[in-house]
């Protein structure tokens, strides 16, 4: 039986079978399902999702989450939730999502992820071709509005700033 690295194409990266098992749901941009934070931005009236790939995704409506898989929605319900103005509609969507996860999405439309067998990579344990998960595209916004610029000299009295890695936000402290 051949190792999966011996069956790989020349352009593919060298991976061991244990590396493939560690990447639960992966693609070329990193961990597909690893959601770090869910945020509702009241100024732009958009949902902002940050994944482990650090690329923010923007969604205009809660109905755009119907383009997600059950795996992603379950991960979203467990992610830290940021609602700075305590918007009741935002909180209600979070509660609705939590209920749907518990009920296996009985009242929420979701999409299914597909998989295909990769004949070039063989599982060393079973001798069968490995399965590759194909994630459907989501209804995230392709163009986002650019925030308004601040007036000239706005940050002249800035004391310091710090970035919180946990919530991926920045805080600015102004001089007195």
Tell me the C-alpha distance between 139 and 72, whole Å. Answer: 13
Average pLDDT over residues 159-169: 79
For position 1, what pLDDT does the model report?
37
| Residue 76 falls inside a structural domain | yes
Q: Residue 27 domain-assigned? A: yes
Q: State how many domains the chain has.
A: 1
Q: Is the pLDDT at 90 greater than 60, yes or no?
A: yes
Mean per-residue pLDDT of the chain: 76
- Plot region of 83 (φ>0 → left; ψ -120 to 50 → alpha; else → beta): beta
* pTM for this entry: 0.59
Q: Identify whether 93 is part of a domain.
A: yes
In a domain, 42, yes or no: yes
- Tell me, yes or no, whether 168 lies in a domain: yes
Instruction: Give whichever of 6-15, 31-40, 114-123, 144-153 has the largest mean pLDDT.
Output: 114-123
Q: Is residue 83 part of a domain?
A: yes
> Do 38 and 47 form a contact (C-beta atoms < 8 A)?
yes
Q: How far apart are CA 19 and CA 105, in angstroms?
A: 31
Give the structural domain span for 101. Answer: 17-137+148-174
Phi, psi angle pair for 65, to nearest 5°? -75, -10
Q: Half-sphere exposure (CA, 13 Å, Cβ side) for 15?
A: 18
Quick check: is 3 in a domain?
no
pLDDT 10s digits, 141-157: 888 776 666 677 777 78
Find the mean pLDDT for residues 129-147.
79
Token pair 């996860």 is found at 101
59 occurs within a structural domain: yes
């Amino acid at each position: 039986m051949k190792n999966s690295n011996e069956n790989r194409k020349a352009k593919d990266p060298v991976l061991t079978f244990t590396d493939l098992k560690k990447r639960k749901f992966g693609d070329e941009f990193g961990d597909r399902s690893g959601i770090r934070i869910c945020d509702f931005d009241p100024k732009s009236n958009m949902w902002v999702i940050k994944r482990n790939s650090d690329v923010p995704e923007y969604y205009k409506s809660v109905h755009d989450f119907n383009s997600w898989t059950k795996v992603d929605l379950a991960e979203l319900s467990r992610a830290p939730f940021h609602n700075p103005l305590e918007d009741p509609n935002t909180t209600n969507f979070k509660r609705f999502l939590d209920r749907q996860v518990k009920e296996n999405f009985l009242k929420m439309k979701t999409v299914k992820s597909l998989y295909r067998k990769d004949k070039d990579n063989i599982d060393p344990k079973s001798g069968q071709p490995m399965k590759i998960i194909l994630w459907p595209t989501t209804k995230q916004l392709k163009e986002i509005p650019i925030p308004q610029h601040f007036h000239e000299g706005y940050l002249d009295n800035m004391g310091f700033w710090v970035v919180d890695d946990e919530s991926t936000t920045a805080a600015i402290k102004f001089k007195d």
